[in-house]
Amino acid sequence: MPTKEEHFGNSLMLYGQDKYEEAIEELKKVVELDPSFADAHLAMGHALQKLKRLPEAAKAIKKAIEIYPQDPMYHTSLSTVYRDMGRTSDAEEELAISFQLQQGY
């Protein structure tokens, strides 16, 4: 039985091949095995964004932020989804959070 790391690696390979649906299936297996794997939620959000499934992408990235709110990249990713959704003020807010967190690094 593959580990969460193997599923995650498979998802990244599939994403790199523009096979976003298949990558999402692998990422679902990762979060079934470890719901607190924040990078898997983030990666799922990125794949969903590529498929223009923006509300689902935002939800996945928000889950990553819920698990690990200190990562500026997560907030930047959510900002780009909000931008794509036309939610400019929300996008700017997330970008501001990202910049604020980066000042701490």
- Is residue 56 predicted with pLDDT exceeding 70? yes
| CB atoms near residue 46 (< 10 Å) | 19
Q: Are 76 and 56 in contact (CB under 8 A)?
A: no
Residue-level length of the chain? 105
pTM for this model (two decimals): 0.94
- Looking at residue 51, its pLDDT comes to 98
Q: Where are the domains of the chain?
A: 4-103
CATH of domain 4-103: 1.25.40.10
Taking only the tens place, the pLDDT of each residue in 45-54 is 999 999 999 9
**pLDDT confidence band for 105 (50 / 70 / 90):** low
